[in-house]
Each structure stands twice: as structure tokens, then as C-alpha cells.
Structure 1
Amino acid sequence: MRHFRMPGRAAGAAALGLGLVAGVTLLTAPTASGHGYTDTPISRQKLCANKTVANCGAIQWEPQSVEGFKGFPAAGPADGKICSAGLSQFAELDDPRGGAWPTTAVTNGQSYGFRWQFTANHSTTDFKYYITKNGWTGTRALTRADLEPQPFLTVAYNGARPAMTTVHQGNMPSGKTGRHLILAVWTVNDTPMAFYACSDVQF
């Protein structure tokens, strides 16, 4: 049997390369292979991608990438950084713009199709939809205290993959007036991650 030995310099370079890869692996949070965003009611990231609003930064080129840690509201993005999933490169999504984000007109209690578009789907735990409390004006970055404590709609997937275009039929909350924000959270099943989408609405 013949044995081949890598020369010392090459071996050292290979070891260094492996070390660098290991270091990168340790420093990088695991991410999902699937990505998506809501476009009904239209999300802030989709408004940016459509160029409906200006000065959006990087999110205009990748509205599907608002990915942060899951476990909301007990875990996940920090208050004030929820709409960007805590990603500094997408901080424009947290900017309230003085309450000037375009809104989608909705009605109390109406049956509504909440639509997601996926660039790649992923094994899913569930989708949850939260809404702000009455009195929210949209003039400051979103916090947990701004939201009703329980989602008004939860759609369980139990590990299944959603279709590339997925609509969740549900009812808008009742007893709401004026401007509100709907936070949609897509929780990935087999990674520590979730995707976040903020949609401004007007009742």
C-alpha cells in the first residue's frame, strides 16, 4: 500500500484554511435556506422593493431577507428593532418616518387573505400575526409593549413547507380604529431563525 504525505507548507496552509472555516462557522448564526415576505397587506420591505418609498437602503434589493432569531415575543429581535429583525443593514424598516409609511385600508372583523411570497420555502413551525394596541400612532419604532399580547391569527404547519405563494385566510381584529401595524412572524422549524414583516394598515 502506498502512502502519500502532504508537504509541510501545504499541510500548514490546509490546516490554516480549516481553522479559518471553523472560525467563520462558529461566528456565523445558522440561517434558513428559505426566505420570504408579505405583500398583502403590503409590508415595509415590499414597499421598499417596489420603490414606493425612497431611502430604504439595502432592503430594496432583498425584501425576503428580514431574518432574525425566533421565539417572539419572549425572544427574537430587541424592541425598536423588530421590523428589521435586528439587522442593522435593514434599520430603515424600523424608522417610523413620522408615521408616514403608506397604509393598506382594512375593516374590523373582515375576512382577509394574508399573503406571503417565498423565494425559497422552508420547513415551518407556524405563522403568527400580531397587531398594535389602540392608540398606536406609528411615530416611533415598534416595541413589544405596542402590540396586543397575543397574535390574532396563528397558522400551524408542524414542519410542512408552505407553497411558494401562500395565503392565510383569517379575520382582521375587531375594535380597531385609525392607523395600526401588523407584524407577521414566520417561524422556521429546523433552524433557530424566523422571518419578520411589518405592514402598516388603516382601519
Structure 2
Amino acid sequence: MPARRKAAAAAALGLTALALCAAPASAHGSMGDPVSRVAQCYAEGPESPESAACKAAVAAGGTQALYDWNGIRIGDAAGRHRQLIPDGELCSAGNEEFKGLDLARADWPATSVHAGSYTFRYRVTAPHKGTFTVYATKPGYDPSKPLAWSGLDLEHPVATATDPVPSGGFYTFTGTLPERSGRHLLYAVWQRSDSPEAFYSCSDVDFGGGSGGTAPAPSAPAPSASAPSDEQIADGADKSTIEHHGHGDDDASTSAEPSATAPVNRPRAAGASADLAETGASAGTSYLAVGGAAALAAGSAVLFVSVRRRAAGGGHPR
């Protein structure tokens, strides 16, 4: 192979590697109505939340989880939600970063609801095809105890929607809330169909008429819930480690961890750079970045030397 072709091949390899490593981790939303715990706490302000529950969540897991409000996900879920997420960790999807959301408390800010038809609004920052499924806790739910899969009425979802059309930053779909009283929780699963990636959220709701299950009523009424505004989302985007725009419905490659054998909890490696943290890329991609840069540099060097030699000999690169 002529030197010029070798250089071009090396440069192309480097560019391909760099393009691959530049793809940030995809994470794209959370329930907006009834507002999820993470979205509620983000709306209150990560640095100084107002409610006791959100303050406790920050104390347990830090503020970064709130800036990453649209990132409660498993990249390789592929419908294996119960297999991958342990009891007591449903709200965090087994992710250490979001462990503050799993706190069993009866004072999470709650959305007032009643039995019957309900319009759900899922706040999305990057649309993808897939199915939304929303489950309600069973009668007798006790918010002061860790949430387990057995506490959800999995046989009777309160809402399902496949490929709803996003509008105004939300997916909107309808469902039917069951007869309940007091405080309960709605658990939403968004399973993409163009990727194994799935997203999860917990929304606290209050049907009225009691404290909910056998949990003691809080000493003071829990504050009403409210979703973050577009302005709040934009203001905090630069502090997020999560992709906020994505690549649209047809790009299945935006799933960050396609391996079916990867562990649920994926803490960032100690050697990950600040640039990787800002883009949401995993620490493992740093090796690819280095390799891509090296290949690109090598290709450029070979091409430069080839051109210099031909110029010195009066020839022209072909």
C-alpha cells in the first residue's frame, strides 16, 4: 500500500475512534406530571432544596444526582427490570448516584390525585421510540418502608403507551388511576424499542382521605409537588453529566452500555477525566480516545512525511 493510502487509513481509523468516544451517555427524561422525586428536588434547587425529603436526599447522595435528574437509567435493561433492580432500590434503579431517592419517608412532596382518568406528562430531553408503563403501589402501601417490587400492582398497570409523539418537551399519554386512599407511589418505566436502554422514575401521589397504608401521618403536611421549568432545566444543564439532547428516535447507538452482562451499578472510575464527566461518557472510553488520537496523529505524520519527500524529489502525490 502506498504511503499516502497508509496515512489516509490511519487517519480514518483515528477519526472513527474519536467519533465513537465522543458519543455521550444517553439519558433523556423523567416523569413531569405527576412529578417524579428527582424532578421535584431539582425544581426546589439542588444546592438548597426546600422540603425535608429533598434535603435528606441530597444529604444521602449529593447534589449531582439532582443535576442529573434525567439520568435514572440502565443502558442494557432490555426489559429485565426486576432482575436488575433490587428491592429497596427501585427509585434509583440500583444506581448509587441516586440512592437518596430510595429513602423511605412519608413526607416526600406529593401530587394530589384521585381515582379515574389521568393525563401523564413525561418530561423528555431526547425522544426515542419505546413503551411507557406506569404502576401504582398496592393498597396498604407504607411509604415509611423501602419500596419492593412486591409492593407494586404489576398485573394491572395504570397506564401504558407505545411511541407517543413528543410535544413541547413532553410525552403525553392517558391512563386510569385506581381506587386508593392516602399516600401512594407511581412507578414509571420507559423501555426503549430502538435500544435495550430503559429509564425509571418514582412519583409520590396523594389520593386524600388518609395517611396511606399503615404509615404514620407526617407531623406537617408534605409540600405540594411541582416540576422544574424550562428555565431551571436550561440553567442547570452545564452542571449535568447527562446528555440533554440526544440524537432522535432512529439512533439506537445512543445507548451507553449495550452489554447484557454489565453490572447494574456503574460508578465512575477514579481515573476518569473531567471532560468525560462533562459529556457523560464512561471512563472506559478514555482508552479509545487516546487510541484514536494516537492513530490520527500517526496518520497525519506519515502523510506529512510522504508529501515532503515527494516535494523534495519533484514528484506529486497521487
Shared fold, TM over 0.5: yes
Shift of 1:100: 1.4
TM-score, reference length from structure 1: 0.77
Which structure has the highest strand share of the two? 1
> What are the residue-to-residue correspondences of 1:1-203 with 2, within 5 Å?
2-3=2-3, 33-51=26-44, 52=50, 53-55=54-56, 56=58, 57=62, 58-68=64-74, 69-71=77-79, 73-96=81-104, 98-109=105-116, 111-124=117-130, 126-150=131-155, 151-157=157-163, 162-163=166-167, 164-174=169-179, 176-203=180-207
Larger Rg: 2
Shift of 1:132: 0.5
Q: 1:93 to 1:36 in 2, by over 3 A?
A: same
Which structure has the highest helix share of the two? 2
Shift of 1:66: 0.5
Shift of 1:161: 6.2
Q: How many residues align?
A: 181
Deviations 1:6-65 (A, max 9, x none): 9xxxx9xx9xxx8xx9xxx9xxxxx97350111111110111101243242222102110
TM-score, reference length from structure 2: 0.51
2:43 maps to a residue whose letter is: N
- Cα separation, 1, equivalents of 2:78 and 2:165: 17
Q: Could you list the structure 1 runs, at least 4 aligned residues long, displaced by more than 4 angstroms after superposition.
A: none
Structure 2: segments with no counterpart, 5+ residues: 45-49, 208-318
SS of 1:75's equivalent in the other structure is: helix
Q: Percent identity?
A: 35
Q: 1:161 to 1:86 in 2, by over 3 A?
A: farther
Structure 1: segments with no counterpart, 5+ residues: 26-30
- Cα separation, 2, equivalents of 1:185 and 1:92: 19
